[in-house]
Amino acid sequence: MSKRNQHENDWIPYLLALSRAVYLFPVSVKEVGGTKWGYINERGKVVLLPIYQGAGDFQDNGLAIVQAQNRTGVINEDGYFIVKPKYDAIEPFSEGRAVVIDNQGFKVIDESGKEITSKAYSFIQNFQEGRAAVGEQDKESGRYLYGYLNRRGKEVIPLSYESASPFELGKTVVKLKEGNYALIDLNGKILERYFYPFVDQYGQGLLAFKRTLDGKWGYMDEHGTIKIQPRFSQAGVFTAGRAIVSVEKGDIEYSGVINLDGKFIIKPNYNRIENLGEERFAIGKAVDPSNPCKGYNYAVANSDGRILTGFIYDEVTSYQNGLASAFNRENTFFIDRSGKRVSHLPTVKGSGTLRFDKTVIKGEIDFRQIYFNKNGGVIWRHDPRVELTPPYVVTEHKYKPNKDYLVYFPQVTGIENGESINITLKELAGVKPVPADTQLDSSYVGDFNLPFFQKDLLVVEITGYDYPFCAAHGMPVRRYAHINVKTGRLYELKDLFKPEHNYVNRISNLIKDQIKNNEEYSYVFPDSFKEISTDQPFFITENALNIYFAPYEIAPYAAGFPTFTIPFSQITSLIAEDSHFWSSFH
């Protein structure tokens, strides 16, 4: 095949995608039982009903990754499962292949859903240039060894490296067992060896390297000739003749951009720099110089180092066909390559991204979706209403007093004298006075679900995540409200039981039995659980009482909210079957 024909064939998947008559786009719908996902067409009409737990974009091959039954599968544009939901996760298709993960490990499937790897691995990267880096743990040493698969799922380059990178123009850098590095081709042939403690990814014929373990980074060509002397604390991969590097000034690292000669095009005066593509960079100054983790104010610069805008953006995405998405403290919008807002394209209140997706404009704003047609008209937006049985309706409201504080909270209409319930729901959700223009020390995002509604009982789940800036992780929030929509009464745990029975002792013993006899709860700290409290956090499902604990309370943070399900059949003698609580849903 000639190079020309090979190049033309590269366009075939793209041309096939353009020739499709119907494009589908994922949307989420909040309803009783949780949020469900489906797909709309370019006119905003629902084509595939919202029946999925999660839904990804349709790719150019006409396939989309979805979640159902707490597993992941792949559907076609008719909604038929090409891959039944049986995997823990599926990565997007790349070069006609997708990496899948199950309890055995990482595998590769083709576009028909067939597993083409003969075994599971500890790790597989996405395909690039017909190769995917693959790794597994060596049983003798305990170390991970890496090699490469071809598109048939075969080990075309044996697993013999301590590290492996994606290929670029048929070459990549690997770390050999001897502790040095090598440049190899697509067949694993060693083209060059490098006897340095660190050599980084290959880009435009240059490789970042360190002479010593604690030394600075510089760049050499693929033959090992030093082209830029080591003087950087961090050194990125060269793209389009530019690389982002960092230098230390006192205790603080500052970023800049250099050319292939090592000269600074953008001087290292900035706390953060991101390559936006199309010869544009976002250069960021810390909102709080003493604590850069609190965020940045960005300006747009070109690849010659000219700053095109003020530091007026909170975030800027990569450019695509001359446009990027940006947001400030009020709105999200498109900007052109000069960094100016494009007035004829949509502007949406809130923080997020806008992007062209085939024939529509897709917005992800404040964790909610909105779609526009090519003329900027709204074709679909998130529905804030969830209708229960008449006259009861749950409506979603948004509270965002500060750029780092966002809460979606529920309000229920149709309840007689329901004002106090709605005030309680706002408080549980985290609606409180928050200063507008003050830089907070943490970010907070809150939302809600409606996991259960039966007869007169509505269960509202309040979720949230509080992240202190610069912390290793934040703290999740989880609360439940059990509401009788007919009377407006808010139930507590004690309302479920007969007053004369010691429900604390009985339920505590059942939980102890589960911890002792069920390996699922092996993560619980030894002897950490004594008994539940009288007002222990709980939630009701159709046939069971569920008791849960906060992170760290009886188990590690990674365990989340340890939850114990106790069927009502095990506690029948304790339940006050003539109580308002029980009769509200039975």
**For the stretch 35-55, what's the b/e string if a residue is b when 16 or more beta carbons lie within 10 angstroms of its beta carbon?**
ebbbbbbbebeebbebebbeb
Q: Which residue has the tokens 């071809």?
A: 150
Q: How far apart are CA 472 and CA 474, in angstroms?
A: 7
What is the chain's Cα-based Rg?
Answer: 28
Q: How far apart are CA 137 and CA 156, in angstroms?
A: 18
Rounded-to-integer distance, Cα 140 and Cα 177, Å: 14
Q: N- to C-terminal Cα distance for the chain?
A: 71
DSSP tag of 268: E
pLDDT at residue 177 in the model:
85
**Tokens at 317, concatenated:** 């995405």
* Residue that the structure tokens 């698969």 belong to: 149
Nearest to 315 by CA among 330, 305, 325: 325
What pLDDT was estimated at residue 22? 75
The pLDDT of residue 21 is 56
Inter-residue contact 273 to 255 (CB < 8 Å): yes
Chain mean position to CA 2: 41
From the list 290, 409, 402, the residue with the least C-alpha distance to 350 is: 402
Tokens 């070459």 belong to which residue?
171
Angle at Cα 528 formed by Cα 568 and Cα 429, nearest 5°? Answer: 65
Is the link from the previous residue into 268 a cis peptide, with omega within 30 of 0? Answer: no
pLDDT at residue 542, as a whole number:
94
* pLDDT for res 157: 97
- On whether the CB atoms of residues 555 and 548 are closer than 8 A, the answer is no
Residue 416 confidence (pLDDT): 85
For the four alpha carbons of 426, 427, 428 and 430, in that order, the dihedral sign comes to: positive
Residue 331 zone, left/alpha/beta (φ > 0; ψ -120 to 50; rest)? beta
- Would you tell me how many other CB atoms lie within 10 Å of the CB of residue 428? 20
How many angstroms separate the CA atoms of 103 and 43, rounded? 40
Q: What tokens were used for 1?
A: 């095949």
- Establish how many alpha carbons lie within 13 A of residue 92's alpha carbon, considering only the half-sphere containing its beta carbon: 10
Supply φ then ψ for residue 3, to 5 degrees: -60, -35
Residue tagged 């407006």 (tokens): 488
| Structural tokens at position 66 | 């979805």
Least Cα distance to 156 among 172, 138, 143 occurs for: 172
Which pLDDT score is estimated for 292? 86
Do residues 60 and 17 touch, judged by C-beta distance below 8 A? yes
Q: Tokens 């009482």 label which residue?
A: 545
Rounded CA-CA distance 277/193 in Å is 31
Please report the domains of the chain, with CATH numbers, ordered by start residue: 271-374 (2.40.128), 385-491 (3.30.565.40), 496-585 (3.90.640.20)
Give 571's DSSP letter: S
Residues of the chain with pLDDT under 70: 1-21
Annotate 50-119 with DSSP letters as a single string.
EEESEEPPP-TTSEEEEEETTEEEEEETTS-EEEEEEESEEPPPBTTEEEEEETTEEEEEETTS-B-SSS
